[in-house]
Amino acid sequence: MRCTWRIPNLAQFHNVTRFSWTGFNQSQLPLLALAFRTFAHQLEHLHLDLLAISSGVYTVNFADVAPEDLDADEAPNADSMFERLITVMARDARYGGDEGVMFPALKSLSLTNTALGPRSQELCRAFNGARLEVLRLKSCHMVSRFLLALERELVQRDAEWEGEEEG
């Protein structure tokens, strides 16, 4: 017996402002991409809890870095499939606009079991980090890199606001 499933039509979900998915894995990223294409622009609250796999590496390809060598700032080759999905979609003007902001209305972001590494600056921009009111990161890799990128995003926003007030 062959098991098949069809991709749902998410076009009807035009009022979604909160999205939560617990226990999804790398093979379900295309479905997540479809959901984001449909309603990322209107999401105010996003909660994603990626499924940790037995190796302890969370939906991520850490190239030649051994799992025991994974440190918050010492995994420059880390390549999170989730992070790649978000940043690639944010670069596409249909989803990220001109500035790469894929979630312009986002106020609350909660991520569990993901890597926030080499593309942290793009990831912060995609999530509109300067607008976030709530940030929850649980069992994530490279959090310090992500927080530094978020800090730069906030400093840049403040500088832009000061420039607008002077002008």
160, exposed or middle or buried, with CB in 10 Å at 0-12, 13-18, 19+? exposed
User: What domain count does the chain have?
Assistant: 1
- pTM of the entire structure? 0.77
**Per-residue pLDDT tens digits for 59-91:** 444 443 444 444 444 444 445 778 888 988 888
- DSSP states of 8-62: P-GGG-TT--EEEEEEE-GGGHHHHHHHHHHHGGG-SEEEEEEPPPTTS--SEE-
Give the residue, 96 or 136, on which the prediction is more confident. 136
Percent of the chain with pLDDT over 70: 75
- Give mean pLDDT, residues 43-64: 64
Residue 105 lies in a domain: yes
CA dihedral in degrees (18, 95, 145, 156; nearest 10)?
Answer: -100
Q: 142 lies in which domain range?
A: 18-51+75-166
Q: How confident is the model at residue 52 (pLDDT cuts 50, 70, 90)?
A: low
Residue 107 lies in a domain: yes
